[in-house]
Amino acid sequence: MKAEEAVEFIEAEKPGDTFKQRAAIFISFLAMLLAITGLGGQNANKETLNNNIQAANAFNFYQAKNIRQTSLILAADEIELAWAATPGLSDEAKAALARKLETYKANIARYESEPSTGEGKKELMARARSHEEARDRAMKQDPYFDYAEALLQIAIVLISVSLVAEVLWLAFVGGALGLLGGAFMINGFFLLVEVPGLS
C-alpha cells in the first residue's frame, strides 16, 4: 500500500469514525439524563407518599382536636345550664363553676388556634393543605419522569442500533426522541408546561 492510498483510506474512514464518536458521546449524554430522570422519578414518588402521610396525620390531629373542642363546648354548656337551673348555688359553688367554665373556654379557644405550638385546628388545617399541595405537585411531576425515561431508553437503543447497522436515519430518530425525553425530564422538575393527558 502506498502512502497516498493509506491517506485516502484514513480520510475515507474519518467520516464514519466521527459519526461513531459523536453517537457515542450523545449516547453517554442520554444515559446521564436517564440516570437523572430516574432519580427525579423516585424523588417524586417519595414526595407523593410522604406528603400524603403528613396530610393524613394533620387531618387526623385536626379531627382529634375538633372532638376535644366539641366535648369542652358541651361541658361548658352544661355548666351554664346547671348554673341557670340552680338559682340557690352558694358563692363557693358559683366561683368553682366560674373557674371551670373559664378553663373550658380558654381550652376551646386554644383548640381553635394555637400559633405558639402550631397545633390549633386553624394551623393543622393549613399544614394539611400545604402537604396536599406538595403531594399534588409531586403527582403531576411523576408522569413526565416516566415518559422521559421511556423516551431516553428508546433513544439510546435506536442510536446504538444505528451504529451497528450503520443506518444514519435511526440515529436522527433516536436523537429526536432523546431531545424530547430531555424536555420531558426538565418539565418533570419544573412543570413549565402542562401536557394534556399527563397530569
Question: For the segment 100-124, what is each residue's pLDDT rounded down to a tens digit?
Answer: 999 999 999 999 999 999 999 999 9
Is this prediction's pTM over 0.85? no
Burial of 52 (C-beta count, 10 Å sphere; 0-12/13-18/19+)? middle
Q: Report yes or no: 101 and 107 within 8 Å, Cβ to Cβ.
A: no
The residues spanned by each domain of the chain are 3-190
Question: For the segment 136-183, what is each residue's pLDDT rounded down to a tens digit?
Answer: 999 999 999 999 999 999 999 999 999 999 899 999 999 999 999 999
**Alpha-carbon distance values, 44 to 41, 99, 126, 145 (Å):** 5, 52, 22, 9
Helix/strand/coil for 102? helix
Task: Kindly state the cell numbers that stand for 117.
Answer: 405550638
Q: How far apart are CA 1 and CA 79, in angstroms?
A: 113
